[in-house]
């Protein structure tokens, strides 16, 4: 089914994940429910804790439940400011009315750890190179990476950035975020290299890791970088107009 038609006539979703990245469950209202086939369908809520796939962050997963209904959310998508949840019917079929939602917290927290780790490496690599790096893209799901413009740094430079990041993680630092309109974010961080890649129809967070430059971001982040754990680099990839740094976190 076309996502635009599912979002048509629906007010923009209240994005609870922007207000609180640590929110695991909440009450909500189902405002539209449409079948995809006999075993799956689409559900639209008045407010959602599910982060849709965007900005290099994979979609949240979880469940929506109501009286006699359990809906397994496999994917959240955004269209015209409306979050559309696709999933499987576990029990009953969702109908318009009150409901309860719960995200897969294990998945969400890991994505938050990787997302904050990626921004922190931007800072560490910039420090090593002596100039601000320009990001081109990123992915914080499986086989996570950060894309940069410019020449691939040496192995030693990349590894020095990795060491710096783990030192900062061990010391800890707060992560603050402020919700702003896109225009406010542009005025706050006018030279942000990722502005054109962020969603254009929602407010944005401007995220600041203590000791680092602020960066506009639509994703979910930690409160303290200690939560990242151990940051480790994998083999980088040299590209025509830049390079990618693949990474992971543990545990």
**Maximal CA-CA distance, the chain:** 59
The pLDDT of 182-208, averaged and rounded, is 80
The pLDDT of 175-201, averaged and rounded, is 81
Residue range 3-103 in CATH 2.40.30.130: yes
Comparing 153-157, 169-173, 180-184, 209-213, the range with the smallest average pLDDT is 180-184
- Extended strands (E) in the chain: 14-15, 25-35, 40-45, 47-48, 62-66, 69-79, 82-91, 97-103, 135-139, 145-149, 175-180, 204-209, 215-217, 230-233, 237-238, 242-250
Question: Where does the pLDDT of residue 201 fall: very low under 50, low under 70, confident under 90, or very high at 90 and above?
Answer: low
- Would you state the pLDDT for residue 198? 74
How is the beta sheet containing 175-180 ordered, strand by strand?
175-180, 204-209, 215-217
Q: Tokens 């927290």 identify what position? A: 109
pLDDT per residue as tens digits for the range 73-127 = 999 999 999 999 999 999 999 999 999 999 999 999 999 999 999 999 999 999 9
pLDDT per residue as tens digits for the range 121-156 = 999 999 999 999 999 999 999 999 999 999 999 999
**% of the chain beyond a pLDDT of 70:** 98
CA within 13 Å, CB half, 134: 9
Give ranges for CATH 3.30.980.10 in the chain.
108-250
Q: What is the mean pLDDT of the chain?
A: 94
CA within 13 Å, CB half, 1: 20
Give ranges for CATH 2.40.30.130 in the chain.
3-103
Residue range 108-250 in CATH 1.20.810.10: no
Alpha carbons 199 and 25: distance in angstroms, whole number: 24
Model confidence, pTM: 0.94
155-171 vs 105-129: helix crossing angle, rounded to 10: 120
Closest CA to 53 of 26, 28, 86, 27: 86
């Amino acid at each position: 089914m076309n996502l635009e038609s599912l979002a048509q006539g629906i007010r923009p979703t209240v994005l609870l994940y922007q207000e609180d990245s640590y929110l695991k469950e909440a009450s909500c209202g189902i405002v539209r429910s449409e079948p995809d086939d006999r075993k799956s369908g689409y559900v639209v809520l008045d407010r959602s804790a599910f982060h849709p796939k965007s900005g290099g962050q994979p979609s949240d997963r979880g469940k929506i439940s109501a009286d006699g209904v359990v809906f397994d959310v496999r994917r959240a998508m955004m269209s015209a400011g409306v979050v559309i949840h696709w999933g499987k019917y576990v029990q009953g079929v969702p109908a318009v009315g009150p409901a309860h939602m719960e995200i897969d917290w294990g998945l969400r927290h890991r994505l938050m750890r990787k997302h904050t780790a990626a921004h922190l490496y931007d800072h560490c690599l910039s420090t090593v190179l002596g100039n601000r790096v320009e990001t081109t893209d990123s992915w914080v799901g499986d086989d996570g990476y950060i894309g940069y413009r410019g020449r691939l740094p040496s192995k030693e430079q990349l590894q020095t950035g990795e060491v710096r990041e783990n030192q900062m993680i061990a010391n800890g630092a707060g992560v603050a975020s402020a919700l702003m309109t896109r225009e406010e974010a542009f005025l706050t961080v006018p030279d942000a290299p990722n502005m054109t890649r962020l969603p254009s129809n929602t407010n944005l967070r401007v995220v600041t890791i203590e000791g680092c430059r602020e960066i506009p971001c639509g994703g979910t982040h930690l409160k303290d970088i200690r939560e990242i754990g151990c940051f480790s680099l994998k083999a980088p990839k040299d590209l025509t107009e830049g390079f990618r740094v693949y990474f992971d976190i543990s545990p």
